Amino acid sequence: MRNKHNSPEVLELTQPGKDLARKISDRSARVGVIGLGYVGLPLVVEMAKAGFQVTGVDIERTKVDSINAGISFVPDVPSKTLFSLVTAEKIKATQSLAALESLDTISICVPTPLRKTKDPDLSYIIAAIEAVRNHLRPGQLLILESTTYPGTTEELVLPTLEKSGLKVGKDFFLAYSPERVDPGNRTYNTPNIPKVMGGVTPHCTKLATLLYQQFIERIVPVSSTRSAEMVKLLENTFRSVNIALANEMALLCHNLGINVWEVMDAAKTKPFGFMAFYPGPGLGGHCIPVDPYYLTWKARMNGFNPRLIELAGEINSQMPAFMISRIASALNEHEKSLKGSKILALGVAYKRETNDIRESPALEVLRGLHDKGALVYYSDPYVPSVVLNGKSAKSVNLSPEIIRSMDCVVILTDHSTFNSPMIATHSSLILDSRNMLRDFQGPNILRL
Ligand code: SAJ
């Protein structure tokens, strides 16, 4: 940042900021996290490991009790680590919002889902920010991490907090820093994923950067909260659009009688200028199918028509229907109708090696098959049971007999624990939407 004399601007912090900077540096700052899920809990642990006294706040009693017992419910956080930090009294969880008053910094990691109408649901952020406002005092630093549209921090969060009469950048400090947690990623986790940081004022950016650099290797300051909010949406919209391209390539390759998986893997050998994405039964999870709608909603509110982003969403959301039509055609080739056929789905989680079924396209495929009269079964080692069309369905244990009894096996999630040789050998008809059986050939094996 340069002032009019073109010399580096020296950021003279106000007293509350100076006190906070000292407390962060000497670890006497009392830090807190609202929202103890797959983003918030790893953040709590890293802050505690850096030497801070950490308070976790969540509305769910079960989460609070589990954390205080040192039992982790987030696969990426080992209970052993959590237990030792709780025992050392570095971590304490509570449902009480009154705890916010004693905190010097508060990171907010609450969900940002969509409403049924596909527009943003900021109710969790609003509830958290109103709680913060009710306990706001001079010297506090607030960092919003939840994925949201550009403008949320300055148009919604800031006015709510300044209703307290305190002034941002002088009395309290506010920044936006997108979470980038990739659940199950063995290589990248909270400390080594670069953290983008955008403050409402330069002082806010400076203080938020000072806090996070105590436990994250690299902070990437940007000029505003809007930039920081947009970075996250670009990252996830990039994935959605490229997955849509992979899906459209799958539809086109099927039409042309070309193996899209072979094409994608061969294209991937290009050492520059290409990044492989793969087709699948559709987009799942609570991020990639959701985040682009936060961006398109904001764009439309500003009279901008985000054609490419919306078209990508349409292509991705058509994939479950395409899967059902492929299954119907494959059965038809065996003189069988969809109605009355026994169909076994392998995998219902939204992606491999997870038990998360949120927005899972596999469930949409199963529901569609059921609605057309098929007798639907599923097997997923990570998901013991699901509710399908109002009834509870249990995961079946795979065996050659079970597989041979099916008219069609559909691979929807390519968990590594599936026994591919057994599946390839004993299935009379397979539709593989994940190329899990890439090493097997045969007239019984069809691919997306
Ligand atoms: N998918 C495809 N083809 C692909 C990649 C993914 O069909 O080539 C599907 C997956 O099967 C899944 C969905 O897209 O149903 C989303 O998959 P994902 O790999 O994007 O994983 P998420 O949603 O669990 O997490 C993503 C993070 N993933 C990666 O960067 C690899 C990351 O973008 C964010 O940290 C996270 O969303 C988030 O929290 O925003």
Q: Whose CA is nearest to atom 15 of ligand 1?
A: 284
**What integer is the mean pLDDT of 372-400?**
95
Between 43 and 289, the more confident residue is: 43
Which of 286-290, 340-344, 434-438 has the lowest average pLDDT?
286-290
Residue-averaged pLDDT of the chain: 95
Average pLDDT, integer, range 26-39: 97
Interval 320-344 mean pLDDT? 97
Q: What integer pLDDT is reported at residue 184 of this predicted model?
A: 81
Atom 9 of ligand 1, residue of closest alpha carbon = 283
pLDDT, position 385: 96
State which ligand 1 atom lies nearest to the alpha carbon of 360: 15
pLDDT per residue as tens digits for the range 238-260: 999 999 999 999 999 999 999 99
With 70 as the cut, is the pLDDT of residue 167 above it? Answer: yes
Average pLDDT (344-357) is 94
Euclidean distance between CA atoms 372 and 206, whole angstroms: 58
> What pLDDT is attached to residue 5?
45
* Cα-to-centroid distance, 326 and ligand 1 (Å): 24
State yes or no: pLDDT of 2 exceeds 50. Answer: no
Ligand 1 centroid to residue 354 C-alpha, Å: 12
Place of tokens 């609202």: 34
Q: Is the pLDDT of residue 313 over 70?
A: yes
Mean local confidence (pLDDT), 414-425: 97
pTM: 0.92
Q: What is the pLDDT of residue 1?
A: 43
Question: So what's the pLDDT on residue 373?
Answer: 97
Q: How far is the CA of 318 from the centre of ligand 1 (A)?
A: 18
CA distances from 72 to 39, 68, 85, 86, 95 (A): 13, 10, 12, 11, 17
Q: Choose the catalytic residue: 109, 204, 287, 408.
A: 287
Mean pLDDT, residues 266-277 taken together: 98
CA of 360 to the centre of ligand 1 (A): 12
Q: Give the domains, in start order, of the chain with CATH numbers.
A: 15-223 (3.40.50.720), 259-447 (3.40.50.720)
Residue 13: band (very low, low, confident or very high) from pLDDT cuts 50, 70, 90: confident
Does residue 15 register a pLDDT over 90?
no
Ligand 1 atom 29: the closest Cα is on which residue? 182
3-17, 106-120, 199-213, 370-384 — which is least confidently predicted? 3-17
For the stretch 289-304, pLDDT in tens is 899 999 999 999 999 9
The arithmetic mean of pLDDT across residues 265-272, rounded, is 98
262: number of CA atoms within 13 Å, CB side?
7
Q: How many CB atoms lie within 10 A of CB 8?
A: 8
- pLDDT for the residue numbered 10: 58
Q: Ligand 1 centre from 288 Cα, in Å?
A: 6
Is the predicted pLDDT of residue 140 greater than 90, yes or no? Answer: yes
Does the pLDDT of residue 58 top 90, yes or no? yes
pLDDT bracket for residue 352 (50, 70, 90): very high
User: Does the pLDDT at position 96 exceed 70?
Assistant: yes
Integer Cα distance of 67 and 92 in angstroms = 8
User: To test ligand 1's pocket by mutation, which of 189, 264, 351 has the most ligand atoms within 8 angstroms of CB?
Assistant: 351
pLDDT of residue 183: 82
Q: Quick one: pLDDT at residue 7?
A: 46
- By most ligand atoms within 8 Å of CB, the mutation choice from 288, 295, 357 for ligand 1 is 288
Give nearest CA residue, ligand 1 atom 28.
182
pLDDT of residue 16: 79
* Active site (annotated) includes residue 253: no
| Predicted local distance difference test score (pLDDT) of residue 225 | 98
Residues in contact with ligand 1 (CB, 6 Å cut-off): 147, 180-183, 235-236, 239, 243, 246, 277-278, 280, 283-285, 287-288, 350-351
CB 236 within 8 A of CB 207: no
**330 has pLDDT over 70:** yes
At 9 the pLDDT is: 52
- Decide if pLDDT at 4 tops 50: no
Name every residue whose Cβ is closer than 8 Å to that of residue 202 and which is 6 or more positions away in sequence: 1, 9, 11
**Ramachandran area for residue 389 (φ above 0: left; ψ -120 to 50: alpha; else beta):** left
Among residues 293, 319, 288, 321, the alpha carbon closest in space to that of 306 is found at 293
pLDDT exceeds 60 at position 50: yes
Burial of 198 (0-12, 13-18, 19+ CB in 10 A): buried
In the chain, the percentage of residues whose pLDDT exceeds 90 is 91
Amino acid at position 374, single letter: A
Strands in 131-255 per DSSP E: 141-144, 173-176, 195-199, 219-222
Distance of alpha carbon 319 from alpha carbon 105, whole angstroms: 44
The residue among 199, 127, 208, 203 whose CA lies nearest residue 171 is 203
**How large is the average pLDDT for residues 5-19?**
68
What gap in Å lies between CA 30 and CA 139, rounded to an integer? Answer: 12
Query: Is 235 within 8 Å of 158 (Cβ atoms)?
Result: no
